[in-house]
Amino acid sequence: MHFQLYPSYITSRNHVSPTSSTTPINLRDSTASPQLPNRPTSTNAFHTMTTSQTTILLLGAGELGTAFLPHLSKLSNIHITLGVRNPPKYTHLTSPIVSISQIDLASPSRELAETFAEHDILISATGFGADPSTVLKLANEVLAAGMLRQDRGQASLWYFPWQWGVDYDVTGDGNGLMPLFGAQRHVRTLLRKQALSSNVKWTVVSTAIFMSFLFEQFWGIVDRSLEAESGNITVRCLRDWDHKVTVTDVNDIGRVLARIIASPSLFTNNILYVAGDTVLYAELASIVERVSGATVEMETWDVPHLERELSNSPDNGIKKYRLVFARDGVWWDKEKTINHELGMPMMDVATYADRLFNKGSRGE
């Protein structure tokens, strides 16, 4: 199952980036810092095609799912089915190669497994709001679908679970704070143990948090609430100013996903790391000050402070997230990512911040 990705560039919402001629390489599964193998010396999988059509089931049409569509649509010999609960809301996304199907993930597992078995690739973009039990239910249904395909003499099902986030092998459940993160780690364990015997291939793509999330007011890291009144912006760090955070723009995640799918023999049964940028919180403060022209006040939210804040509001999900992001497993070096090895230009924090703070001056 190979594809040709065309044209020779991908147009994003923000820039046009030439694709690199760098040969894709295989990043091995790692539960700690991702390690890069030796680069292959030949073969460019992007120029290999087959005449059979590959069917992709994309679950979810939120911020991430809709960012995937334009890049998946550039793959040749494919048909994409968008699985959503309310199809009439998404008819504007249809095209000759994109159809919509009503899929409710709360449906009985046998019914869903039958549906999943009709497709060659399943990509979950259902979002973070899922109940912890839902991600395990879905993974087991995918394994059942793989067995159904095996019984029918069909090729294995390729599964991209909802793992577009941090390194759940490292974070675990955040010391009990994040049951969903713990469930995501259980999904990895399940796939490692049972996917091969269930006729399922899998790829986990760890992207850390979305770029936009870093600048959301509710997240509290870049606080612009007093900007209009005083001209000041507050930038806060989690843990300390030398702590890091990895971020990736959703459009870039879609670009990387398409490149991965175009080279299935290289990227299956692995955890791949993606990063638009990895910055120190001190670097973030400098970037915000430079691009905004405002005075930046720096405030430290160390672990004891975050723990006190959470103890005062133990059910506050954002405060739980902040404490988890003050720990390990939430960043990795850009040089050890799949996008770096593929030579793919990505949106970095400085570029995103410049567009965010100066879009009005450009008439955007």
Position 18 scores a pLDDT of 29
Tell me which residue of 122, 352, 307 sits closest to 216, measured CA to CA: 352
Rounded to an integer, what distance in angstroms lies between the CA atom of residue 174 and that of residue 180? 10
Q: What is the mean pLDDT of residues 166-189?
A: 95
- According to DSSP, residue 71 is labeled H
Q: In angstroms, what is the C-alpha Rg of the chain?
A: 21
Query: Please, which pLDDT band fits residue 363 given cuts at 50, 70 and 90?
Result: low
Tell me which residue of 301, 299, 295 sits closest to 227, measured CA to CA: 295
Rounded to an integer, what distance in angstroms lies between the CA atom of residue 316 and that of residue 58? 31
The widest CA-to-CA distance across the chain, in whole angstroms, is 67
> Is the pLDDT score of 13 beyond 80?
no
Tell me which residue of 199, 264, 342 sits closest to 50, measured CA to CA: 264
Instruction: Render pLDDT for 152-170 as a digit per residue (tens, 0 to 9).
Output: 999 999 999 999 999 999 9
Q: Is the pTM of this model over 0.75?
A: yes
Position 128 scores a pLDDT of 67
> Is the pLDDT score of 317 beyond 80?
yes
CB atoms within 10 A of CB 273: 25
Please return the burial class of 223, using the count of CB atoms within 10 Å of its CB with bins 0-12, 13-18 and 19+: middle
Position 47 scores a pLDDT of 35
CB atoms within 10 A of CB 112: 22
CA distances from 6 to 11, 60, 179 (A): 11, 25, 41
Position 104 scores a pLDDT of 96
Contact 317, 325 (CB under 8 A): no
Query: Please, which pLDDT band fits residue 364 given cuts at 50, 70 and 90?
Result: low
> Is the pLDDT score of 330 beyond 90?
yes
Instruction: Render pLDDT for 29-88 as a digit per residue (tens, 0 to 9).
Output: 333 334 443 433 333 333 333 458 999 999 999 999 999 999 999 999 999 999 999 999
Position 240 scores a pLDDT of 99
Contact 257, 269 (CB under 8 A): no
- Token pair of 169, please? 């092998």
Position 127 scores a pLDDT of 80
Half-sphere exposure for 33 (CA within 13 Å, toward CB): 6
The domains located in the chain, with CATH, are: 9-208+250-275+332-346 (3.40.50.720)
Q: What is the mean pLDDT of residues 184-194?
A: 97
